[in-house]
Structure 1
């Protein structure tokens, strides 16, 4: 046989688990920081005398910078290697944590929040590249699932544990501590991690992807399918991210009179539901023979229905709040699984990299915009004392309902566009 017929095997070096563990530890903080503002909203409003619009702008800085840098992070992961990208970007996240903790004004807190988003935005893509170089293909899917579980564990810890830390030591001391932990991880990665077994270049273990072609990007951007999928990811997942990362805890405190610790404990049902929903709903769809497109549509409409319940004041007690938030997380987990399944099944292989890179920022942009919009609605309705009234939150949730409902309706009407008759770019079907 020719040498090309023998794919090069990835050595099963024990260092691979050190690589996974350290990058996963940093990824823990990606999700942690994504939802952390929700727990400390009362502290920030009191500390900076800020209204909901200003807090929405501050919290959204994470999502804007995270989303916009993704194409650059992918390019630099190939150019510099995962070790440098994760390590250097973690230093940026460290600087953001420290600045956020020491910020004298909300403006400086917003800069710190933006630096955090910029820093943690350099973890997922180089992490995937590192794992592809250290682990064989047969282990890769399970590894990615474990990686995502660690991330959602971070979201869990950004609820009650963070609330306890903020109540015990103060929110500033809590973020100083988090910054020091992130700094330690960054130094370990920069000094101890290897990009690939035996310090081989990445090209020794996997083929390099061809450069992104501008015609391919045009083909994707001008396709109806891309915008249907983008709108679903932007609106449905963006509204879910707005609830989880900013308003869930203060909403429960206002509507049900919960203390911060109790509200943040109930809030843990969002990431817990997501952790369970992704594998369970994915396996269920396979067993009953449902297509991923049908599952995607059903879950998108379920999310819209849950927003109807919140917007119409359907949460009247602790048990109903627990059920609604768990269902939000559970269906969001299945939505994420089915979404990327639809993308994989409906996208020609030559467009896969371009499509993934362009779709990935959608939920972060959606959350960033919706956080500001919902904050503006809260301010328009007004406060009752130091908090916003249940009516104010219900009015703000109407914005999220619209953001989830419109793309769900578009996806239902144009569902046949998601799976075109042909996937060959030469046939012109991709852009129809």
Structure 2
């Protein structure tokens, strides 16, 4: 019991810093663009793209290594690389350096969610797996919720470089915590042989992956555009950007602790995934009402979905393909998520430019989230990949 609690606490800390580093970038970008003399805002987007490309490419690798060598060394390495990347990013003097070091942080991030989710699933039975992963998501929501409140004060008092320095130091400390405290279930045997070829040819794995890609595309739109939309097109004050992220975080905590737990009690988790993805559809449509109250309600509903989606999809890995393959499966699905996450800002930004309104990307997010439900309905069988 103590080992399982230590694993949960360590995983919470990992998720906290991993997603603080990921989502604090948006708040720091305006200052970075000026200080690094980037002539166009889209060049700042190139830095974030370097992170996601590294994250997408290395997640399957980290997943395979997790199933071969266990999660602990992978998570320690991941947090250390995130810390080093963030520390060095604080000293960057050019676009190339910033892309390189934030890309390194992306490599490290690939060693966080995939191995932590796999290790967490191995500690819990089917009846508690969703709730346990939901607790990890509380760490994510707490991470970006806290940084959204603290970062403006650090920026005012110091600079964006100080923010990255602090995040880097915290990540290195979390690596030490994982090294000392993180425990894995000794009753799960990992052969390390895996069945990568079978996985890549499995229709069910591809269907879930496509759904994951589509909802990942949709999820990133409100994160990117909802604060800007509320200021420019709804007429809210500049304070709204901080409040919206905080509301998303609060909704995320509620969603992470309720919907995944509900999925533990139903025979087919896809039913609850349909509910969570449907909330993304609803939240985007509510925002189109163009009132401050509607935008704030949209943020809370979106948060509910955000907090639930990741543990719901993650818990399907062990359920469909076996605990010993959870790392490879989550890593494989993260490839799809990366494609959606990279395509989302490009497509939604182009649509906003073409239509002259930020409402159009929000409408697009609603449609894509609805489309994410279709692949799930096509899954006709649930099977596990057996070791041979």
Within 5 Å, which residues of 2 pair with 1:232-271? Answer: 232-244=211-223, 246-258=224-236, 260-271=238-249
Tell whether the 8 Å contact from 2:17 to 2:143 is kept in structure 1 after alignment: yes
Q: Which moved more, 1:41-50 or 1:176-185?
A: 41-50
1:35 maps to which residue?
A: 23
1:314 & 1:358 partners in 2: Cα distance?
38
2:132 & 2:262 partners in 1: Cα distance?
21
2:107 & 2:212 partners in 1: Cα distance?
21
Is 1:293 matched up with 2:293?
A: no
Is 1:145 matched up with 2:145?
A: no
* Matching residue within 329, 334, 358 for 1:360: 334
The RMSD of aligned alpha carbons is 3.7
Count matched residues.
Answer: 383
Is 1:419 matched up with 2:384?
A: no
Within 5 Å, which residues of 2 pair with 1:336-415? Answer: 336-340=310-314, 347=320, 349=322, 353=326, 355-378=329-352, 391-408=356-373, 410-411=374-375, 415=377
1:237 & 1:131 partners in 2: Cα distance?
22
Listed one character per residue, the Cα deviations across residues 275-297 of structure 1 (whole Å, up to 9, x for unaligned) are: 2123333556788x795434433
2:284 maps to which residue?
A: 307
2:94 maps to which residue?
A: 105
Gaps (5+ residues) in structure 2? Answer: none
* Matching residue within 237, 255, 268 for 1:277: 255
Q: CA deviation at 1:97?
A: 0.9
2:364 & 2:46 partners in 1: Cα distance?
16
Gaps (5+ residues) in structure 1? Answer: 1-11, 197-201, 382-390, 427-432
Q: CA deviation at 1:159?
A: 1.6
* Matching residue within 225, 230, 242 for 2:209: 230
Tell whether the 8 Å contact from 1:39 to 1:260 is kept in structure 2 after alignment: no
1:109 & 1:260 partners in 2: Cα distance?
28
**Aligned-partner SS, 2:233:** helix
C-alpha distance 105-218 of structure 1, shift in aligned 2 (>3 A)? closer
1:316 maps to which residue?
A: 291
1:326 & 1:111 partners in 2: Cα distance?
35
C-alpha distance 372-16 of structure 1, shift in aligned 2 (>3 A)? same
Q: Which moved more, 1:89-98 or 1:137-146?
A: 137-146
2:126 & 2:324 partners in 1: Cα distance?
24
C-alpha distance 36-293 of structure 1, shift in aligned 2 (>3 A)? same
Listed one character per residue, the Cα deviations across residues 67-108 of structure 1 (whole Å, up to 9, x for unaligned) are: 221222133335555443222322211221123222223333
Tell whether the 8 Å contact from 2:218 to 2:369 is kept in structure 1 after alignment: yes
Tell whether the 8 Å contact from 1:39 to 1:158 is kept in structure 2 after alignment: no
Q: CA deviation at 1:178?
A: 1.5
C-alpha distance 143-401 of structure 1, shift in aligned 2 (>3 A)? closer
2:40 & 2:210 partners in 1: Cα distance?
29
1:430 maps to which residue?
A: none
Superposition TM-score, scaled by structure 1 size: 0.74
